[in-house]
Amino acid sequence: MLMNRAETALINSPPRRWLQRLYEVPVLLSFGGRLPPGSRALEIGCGSGYGSQLMLQRFGAAQVDAIDLDPAMIARAQARLAPYRDRVHLATGSATDLRAALNADDGSYDAVFDFGIIHHISDWRGAVAEAARVLSLVGGSTSKKSLHTLSTAPPTGGCSTTPPRTGLPPRTSSTR
Ligand SMILES: C[S@@+](CC[C@H](N)C(=O)[O-])C[C@H]1O[C@@H](n2cnc3c(N)ncnc32)[C@H](O)[C@@H]1O
């Protein structure tokens, strides 16, 4: 679902970037650590692209694909990520259909990141299922996948850092 003007202004503001850099990144790193060298990562709902920048700089992703439903956000992300253009691919599309957005095959990413977006998607189960589909298995395990998700409100409302039940392994916030 697209954001209203107030939400968009907040998301594009410096305090949002501070929160991402100073709180969300350390929390996600404490869950799953940095990515292995050469990792290919996906960000769903990338907004202005700051999360993708952090995935390259702080998580050590080698390549990042990022999508957002809002073409205006993708334009912002393109400007922000221009210095990384050889390592980043941006597309407009929905997290609920990654084949349409990115032609993403099963198991094509080492990690999927969601910075504060899952509660914006009415079909959040579909988005989580898509993230699970495109994730590769970690270290040959049949059960470990790396889904980095941090939302401050679950789809049902309220305020929590606990992700919705997904059918993925219990450490859904980051399993590695
Ligand atoms: C709260 S903002 C978060 C943006 C960015 N991740 C951040 O942390 O600043 C939610 C973003 O998700 C996008 N969005 C909403 N529904 C989406 C969907 N189904 N697929 C992809 N992006 C979506 C919105 O356009 C918006 O840019």
**Which domains can be identified in the chain, with CATH numbers?**
9-149 (3.40.50.150)
The region, left, alpha or beta by phi > 0 then psi within -120 to 50, assigned to residue 61 is beta
The strands making up 63-68's β-sheet, listed across from edge to edge, are 88-92, 63-68, 40-44, 111-115, 147-150
The rounded Cα 100 to chain-centroid distance in angstroms is 17
Per-residue model confidence (pLDDT) at position 3: 83
Atom 10, ligand 1: residue with shortest CA distance: 117
Q: What is the pLDDT of residues 59-111, one digit of tens each?
A: 999 999 999 999 999 999 999 999 999 999 999 999 999 999 999 999 999 99
Q: Kindly report the average pLDDT of the chain as a whole number.
A: 84
CB atoms within 10 A of CB 165: 11
Would residue 116 be called left, alpha or beta, if left means φ above 0 and alpha means ψ between -120 and 50 degrees? left
pLDDT band at residue 5, thresholds of 50, 70 and 90? confident
d(CA 78, CA 84): 10
In short, whether 101's Cβ falls inside 6 Å of ligand 1 is: no
Q: What share of the chain has pLDDT > 70, as a percent?
A: 78
Q: Is residue 112 lining ligand 1, measured as CB closer than 6 Å?
A: no
| pLDDT 10s digits, 137-171 | 765 444 556 666 655 444 433 333 334 333 343 34
| Ligand 1 centre distance from Cα of residue 46 (Å) | 6
Q: Which residues pair with 63 in a beta bridge?
A: 40
Q: By the 8 A CB rule, do 112 and 41 touch?
A: yes
The verdict on the CB of residue 44 being under 6 Å from ligand 1 is yes
Question: What DSSP string runs through the chain?
Answer: ----HHHHHHHTSHHHHHHIIIIIHHHHHHHH-SPPTT-EEEEES-TTSHHHHHHHHTS--SEEEEEES-HHHHHHHHHHTGGGTTTEEEEE--TT-HHHHH-PPTT-BSEEEEES-GGG-TTHHHHHHHHHHHBPPGGG-SS---EEEE-SS-TTSS--SPPPP-SS-S-TT---
Asked if 145 and 132 touch (Cβ cutoff 8 Å), the reply is yes
Lowest mean pLDDT among 3-17, 94-108, 112-126: 3-17
Instruction: State if residue 16 touches ligand 1 by the CB under 6 angstroms criterion.
Output: yes
141 alpha carbon – ligand 1 mean position (Å):
30
- Nearest alpha carbon, ligand 1 atom 27: 47
pLDDT at residue number 75 = 98
70 Cα to the center of ligand 1, angstroms: 8
